[in-house]
């Protein structure tokens, strides 16, 4: 028994290592492919609805591509508008930043006895070290931008062909199994498509809620360029948990540099209240059971995704873990992994009450 257990453990470890190697070295090919698959799952209901209205398969797929392009352009437009707005207020922000730096220097000198000139010399040494690698950094940014354009084109191509001949790919997976198991595999494929689409739609609805909440809150407290700051703060939240901290950095910085001295605390309160409502009410309702994995493995998915695929992995690995959990649930030999991955946290009764109310409304 010990040798059999050891053999199985070694087999699992070997599979994990080989999978990680394939994912890492194949990321140039796999990242656009997986983005194309996820977008195809997301926009499948839209394309089906268009086809029910009499629009041809190719045209409905092209409309789906147009939706993706418009969404990306909207994000770039938000970032560009925020940059233009900041450039107009740059002199005021520089004066505010200078005042903030002087206050920080006085505090450091009072508590640690380091004179402002010594602080400046330390900063100059740090800046000189950073400047030595600046050329390499901008070169990598330029090459990364070109790679990003190429990857985006590949995503659109994958999306087009996946949507155009989607029945063929589904039939391929059904042909891999015995005929008596095809009905079960078909249900599993439909569940995977539903879960991936529901998760992505849930993330978008959550982002819309945060955007509305931030816009109202920042406008009420008088944060400069509040609506634009709110939209920029929402974009990173496409990644659960981590994205909320990254997104909060920009409005907090704007509150310190571009706002009044009493604006920082109200902005912090707005960010915290929005996240509490989103995590405990909005996400459980809109995502439903799509992300039926343990919170700790959600964090593991984000960390592994960043290590293997960078930012793209932080977005893609969460639904991939959810799909993996579905596969483990339908294969008896993998049931222990399903038990390990599945969400063990019970939802509060009031959340279930609200979800049931929404289900009755949509029937």
| pLDDT tens digits, 124-157 | 555 455 444 444 544 544 454 556 678 888 999 9
Mean pLDDT across 23-30 = 88
Q: In whole angstroms, what is the distance from residue 81 CA to residue 34 CA? A: 30
Q: In whole angstroms, what is the distance from residue 197 CA to residue 45 CA? A: 9
pLDDT confidence tier of residue 289, bands split at 50, 70 and 90: low
| 336-355 residue pLDDT tens | 888 888 876 665 565 556 55
Q: In whole angstroms, what is the distance from residue 273 CA to residue 249 CA? A: 16
Q: Which of 155, 187, 81 lies closest to 315 in space, CA to CA? A: 155
Classify the C-alpha dihedral 62-159-74-139 as positive or negative: negative
Residues above pLDDT 70, as percent of the chain: 71
- Mean pLDDT highest for which of 30-44, 167-181, 254-268? 30-44
Whole-model pTM? 0.73
Cross-strand partners of 342: 293
Q: Looking at per-residue confidence, does 11 or 199 come out higher?
A: 199
Helix (H, G, I), strand (E, B) or coil at 224: coil
**Residues 179 and 73 sit within 8 Å (Cβ to Cβ):** no
Mean pLDDT across 151-166 = 89
Q: What angle do CA 122, 127, 133 make, to 5 degrees?
A: 140
Tokens of 315: 């977005």
Q: In whole angstroms, what is the distance from residue 162 CA to residue 198 CA? A: 19
Q: Would you list the DSSP string of 284-304?
A: HHHHTTTT-B-HHHHHHHHHH
Q: In whole angstroms, what is the distance from residue 247 CA to residue 230 CA? A: 9
pLDDT for position 300 = 87
Q: Is the pLDDT of residue 294 over 60?
A: yes
Non-local (6+) Cβ contacts of 308 within 8 A are: 20, 23, 24, 27, 317
DSSP at 308: H
């Amino acid at each position: 028994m010990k040798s059999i257990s050891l053999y199985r453990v070694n087999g699992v470890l070997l599979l994990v290592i080989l999978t990680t190697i394939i994912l890492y070295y194949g990321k140039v090919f796999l990242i656009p492919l997986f983005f194309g698959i996820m977008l195809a799952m997301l926009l499948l209901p839209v394309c089906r609805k268009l086809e029910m209205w009499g629009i041809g398969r190719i045209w409905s797929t092209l409309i789906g591509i147009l939706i993706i392009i418009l969404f990306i352009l909207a994000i770039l437009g938000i970032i560009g508008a925020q940059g233009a707005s900041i450039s107009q207020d740059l002199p005021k922000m520089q004066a505010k930043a200078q005042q903030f730096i002087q206050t920080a220097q006085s505090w450091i000198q009072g508590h640690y006895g380091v004179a402002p000139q010594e602080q400046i010399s330390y900063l100059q040494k740090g800046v000189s070290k950073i400047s030595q690698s600046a050329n390499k950094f901008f070169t990598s940014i330029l090459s990364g931008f070109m790679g990003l354009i190429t990857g985006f084109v590949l995503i659109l191509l994958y999306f087009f062909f996946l949507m155009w001949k989607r029945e063929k790919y589904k039939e391929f997976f059904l042909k891999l199994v015995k005929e008596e198991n095809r009905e079960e595999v078909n249900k599993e494929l439909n569940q995977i498509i539903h879960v991936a689409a529901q998760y992505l739609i849930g993330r978008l609805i959550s982002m819309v809620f945060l955007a509305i909440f931030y816009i109202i809150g920042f406008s009420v407290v008088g944060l400069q360029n509040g609506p634009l700051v709110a939209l920029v703060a929402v974009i990173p939240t496409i990644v659960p948990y981590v994205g909320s901290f990254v997104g909060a950095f920009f409005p907090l910085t704007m509150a310190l540099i571009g706002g009044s001295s009493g604006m920082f605390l109200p902005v912090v309160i707005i960010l915290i209240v929005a996240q509490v409502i989103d995590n405990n009410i909005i996400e459980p309702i809109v995502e439903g059971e799509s992300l039926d994995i343990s919170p700790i493995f959600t964090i593991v998915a984000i960390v592994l995704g960043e290590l293997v695929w960078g930012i793209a992995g932080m977005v893609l690995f969460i639904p991939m873990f959810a799909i993996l959990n579905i596969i483990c649930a339908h294969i008896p030999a993998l049931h222990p992994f399903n038990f390990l991955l599945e969400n063990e946290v019970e939802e509060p009764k009031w959340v279930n009450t609200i979800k049931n109310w929404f289900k009755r409304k949509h029937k």
